[in-house]
A and B are shown apart, each in its own frame.
Chain A
Amino acid sequence: MIFVTVGHQMPFDRLVRTVDEWAGDTGRSDIFAQIGDTVFQPRFISYDHRLAPKKFNQCIEKADAIIAHAGTGTILTALEMGKPILVMPRRAKLLETRNDHQVATARYFREIGKTTVAMNENELRSILDDIKTLKSNDLISSHASTDLISAIKNFIIENNK
């Protein structure tokens, strides 16, 4: 199963439409998408606008591959379950978000070898054609780095004496 998700803050039709058209062209029927509050209605894939956290996590767990906006919440959740993830960042100039922070997020996770990135619909489309080769990931820990945890923990202890 392929799970598509755009988060719950704003829709991201550009991503959903590209996956939907690809599903129409290839006849792929095992795709489920969380598409946000949008009027766009996918024709070839099944979808829901919003998902409760439990359902969302189940979808990630069941998926063989995840296609998503470059939100840190989605990426971290997918990596915690070791799932292959392909992201396309939202763009500010297309009014998909306030600023281009998702571009930087996508680049960072690509640099550390944890995600595949499509910068636009064309790239997304061609990676979708090779979706089987999407790299799966080693599970990351479910916690922040030990350094950061200790820094915060020590601060709390020191200031509570």
Chain B
Amino acid sequence: MRLRNKKAKILAVSSGGGHWIELIRLSPAFQDNCTIYVTVNESYQTYLDGDRNTRFYCVGDVTRWNKIKWMLTAFQILWILIKERPTCVISTGALPGYMALRLGKLLGANTIWVDSIANVEELSESGRRIGNHADLWLTQWQHLAKPEGPEFRGSVI
């Protein structure tokens, strides 16, 4: 018999600033499931106060340009993925989210990319490259949607 009410385990990953605020604005979509937030700023934990269904990890902030930091953050994310075994990985960007989706996919999770609303004129670099690895690949701009993806399904505002 299929378990109809099996809970999903969601890994929700973002960089700081707007990426994080956008991720938090998506949080009603994760409700009723166990959600593990991964971001780059320890103090963001206060946003989750009082929510028992969540856990929080902080990883090193990283940009494309620093190879060593890049590797360290990738290992931190890999460790969290192996420990938590999420069924779904979602990110609003940027690079740590890209790495989490790629690694999560290898470990069998479903992946969702929501490109930031700040990318009005073109997709972010991470957002473009993640296309083949995101099971649900979204832009927040109708004019950036294409038949082959990404799709437009609404925005964080």
Q: Are A73 and B153 in contact (CB under 8 A)?
A: no
> How far apart are A22's CB and chain B's nearest CB, in angstroms?
26
B contacts with A: majority SS: loop
* A93 close to chain B: CB less than 8 A: no
Q: Are B154 and A151 in contact (CB under 8 A)?
A: yes
In A90-108, the 8 Å CB interface with B consists of 101-102, 104-105, 107-108
* A132 close to chain B: CB less than 8 A: no
Mask: chain A, 1-30; 1 = CB below 8 Å from B; 0 = not: 000000111000000000000000000000
Mask: chain B, 88-122; 1 = CB below 8 Å from A; 0 = not: 10100000000000000000001010101111110
Q: Are A156 and B33 in contact (CB under 8 A)?
A: yes
Q: Are B22 and A152 in contact (CB under 8 A)?
A: no
Interface residues on A, range: 35 or more
Which residue, of A7, A101, A112, A157, has the highest number of chain B Cβ atoms within 10 A? Answer: A101
* B28 close to chain A: CB less than 8 A: yes
Mask: chain B, 3-43; 1 = CB below 8 Å from A; 0 = not: 01011101000001111111001111110010000000101
- Specify which chain B residues have a CB less than 8 angstroms from the CB of A140 in the assembled complex: 157
> How far apart are A34's CB and chain B's nearest CB, in angstroms?
12
Query: Which among B41, B44, B155 is the interface contact of A145 at CB below 8 angstroms?
Result: B155
Q: Are B90 and A52 in contact (CB under 8 A)?
A: no
Q: Are B43 and A153 in contact (CB under 8 A)?
A: no
> How far apart are B33's CB and chain A's nearest CB, in angstroms?
7
CA distance A76 to B33 in the complex (A): 25
A7, closest chain B residue (CB): B17
